[in-house]
Amino acid sequence: AQSVTQLGSHVSVSEGALVLLRCNYSSSVPPYLFWYVQYPNQGLQLLLKYTTGATLVKGINGFEAEFKKSETSFHLTKPSAHMSDAAEYFCAVSSNQAGTALIFGKGTTLSLSS
Amino acid sequence: GAVVSQHPSRVICKSGTSVKIECRSLDFQATTMFWYRQFPKKSLMLMATSNEGSKATYEQGVEKDKFLINHASLTLSTLTVTSAHPEDSSFYICSARKRDSSYEQYFGPGTRLTVT
């Protein structure tokens, strides 16, 4: 079984500040990990993903995440937040097993202040 | 690219009627499609997994007779909400997995269903 926990349903940062969104997972098989962003009334956009190989993955819009197996974590960071980053962020886990669906965390709302 | 479309994007229907939502993979063949439901300010809840040419696999607690899923071709899956009620109002999102991929999913833009 797989599950995802996103710590903090709301995160508020100032424009230009560091963004840190936390994600911890549970998986009985090697996980594939994803971060998605969702803007109001829109679908999901993939920010980045980890499957195998390098544990630090870079995504779009300046975001990156590091897979830490010992901590079962996959936190999302961005050095300098921009107003356009205000959105809902979802961490998700899957695996390489055929037919495995994505299991999503509850999401974190990122809000920005100028 | 890997584009997934949904139609309609918004639909309002009266209680008791049925609504069909289409999910299409526009530029790839999707052997597996997934249907999610998202309540306001909530995460995505997997409703069912749909494999082309076979019956959908529903998650626990999802009524298969109420949410009919058909995956008749490698580019089209449909979700029909039968005898809709106001509590079925939600944002429905589909995703599709390519034939040659074991994990990559591509999401549609979602369909906002409002039942009055």
Q: How are the residues of chain A apportioned to helix, strand and coil, as percentages rounded to the nearest 5?
A: 10, 55, 40
As a whole number, the mean pLDDT across chain B is 91
Pair of tokens at residue A87? 């959105």
Residue A5: other Cβ atoms inside 10 A: 14
Using a CB-CB cut-off of 8 Å, the residues of chain B touching A49 are 104
> CB contact, 8 Å: B93 with chain A?
yes
Q: What's the pLDDT score for residue A34?
A: 95
Q: Which 3-state string (H, E, C) describes A33-86?
A: EEEEEECCCCCEEEEEEECCCCCEEECHHHCEEEEEHHHCEEEEEECCCCHHHC
Q: Residue range B68-88: average pLDDT?
A: 94
> CB contact, 8 Å: B77 with chain A?
no
Pair of tokens at residue A55? 């544990």
Dihedral sign for Cα atoms in the order A87, A91, A95, A96 = positive
How does DSSP classify residue A100? P
Subunit contact B102:A105, Cβ cutoff 8 A = no
Amino acid at A46: L
Residue A99: is its pLDDT beyond 70? Answer: no
Omega into B8 within 30° of 0, i.e. cis?
yes
Q: What is the pLDDT of residues A41-84, one digit of tens each?
A: 788 899 999 988 899 999 999 999 999 999 999 999 999 999 99
Amino acid at B94: C
Beta strand pairing status for A87-94 and A32-38? antiparallel
CB A76 within 8 A of CB A18: no
Subunit contact B43:A97, Cβ cutoff 8 A = no
Residue B112: is its pLDDT beyond 80? Answer: yes
